[in-house]
Amino acid sequence: MTITQVLDRVRKERRTSLTEVEAKEILRNAGIPVIETKLARTKKEAVSISKKMGFPIALKIASPDVMHKSDTGGVKLNLKNNAQVSKAYTDIIFVVKKSYPKAKIEGVSVQKMARPGIEVIIGVTKDAQFGPVLMFGLGGILVEVLKDVSFRIVPISRRDASEMIREIKGYPVLEGYRGQEPADIAYLEELIMKVSDLVEKNPQIKELDLNPIFAYRDGALAVDARIILEAPAEPS
């Protein structure tokens, strides 16, 4: 599906929250590298998809009503065989239904475990005065603890993207601190530009989070994604 088709479907269902699978479909169409993620509506499907992808596998709840998936037990990582996937599917559905009895549950998203890299975040929020504001920083839980991030107003230039990366205090980590694998800085600049372009062309996007993105010496890969749309205008 195209970006427009995905957004139209969400609008038709009168939703503002996209599932992770929908968000990644939009990002992939925008040329942003995301890990392959498929929707499994049943336990049998989850096992079948996992076997085709190859272990180890991660399962996550697929629901537009559950944003913080890991906080509710809606994420299971590093599953190594069919039995573990089967049990994880059952556990996820059970715990989410218990925590969110009114949530619309589509199933679970299935994705292969990604090779670890330096975790970074790219995000967008809308400011009432300035419009979409782009954020970059170290990702994972570090963004919440350190709040080491930089900001620019959309749209941005290549120079803006370059400065955003180099402004954060954690920049030495991206250069390969103490012998660690460095990140491909030019690739991250391109990634920031693509996110800016996506948001500029689709003003109905209110919030966007790519966290974490695993940055490698030869590219980067978004592992988790979240997109929220503007609420539809009320009829006059």
pLDDT tens string 112-157:
999 999 999 999 999 989 999 999 999 876 666 668 899 999 999 9
Contact 16, 229 (CB under 8 A): yes
Tell me how far CA of residue 177 lies from CA of 171, 172, 181, in angstroms. 9, 6, 8
Structure-token match 């490698």, residue found? 216
The pLDDT of residue 162 is 97
Mean pLDDT value across the chain: 92
The three-class DSSP label of residue 126 is: strand
CATH of 118-229, one of 3.40.50.970, 3.30.470.20, 3.30.70.1140, 3.40.605.10: 3.30.470.20
The pLDDT of residue 235 is 56
The pLDDT of residue 141 is 67
Tell me how far CA of residue 28 lies from CA of 32, 102, 209, in angstroms. 5, 30, 14
CA dist 100 and 94 (Å) reads 10
Q: What's the Rg (C-alpha) of the chain? A: 18
List of the chain residues with pLDDT < 70 = 141-146, 233-236
Q: Which CATH architecture has domain 3-112?
A: 2-Layer Sandwich (3.30)
- Report the predicted TM-score, pTM, of the whole model to 2 decimal places: 0.90
Omega of the bond prior to 155 within 30 degrees of 0, cis? yes
User: Amino acid letter at 135?
Assistant: M
| Domain positions in the chain | 3-112, 118-229
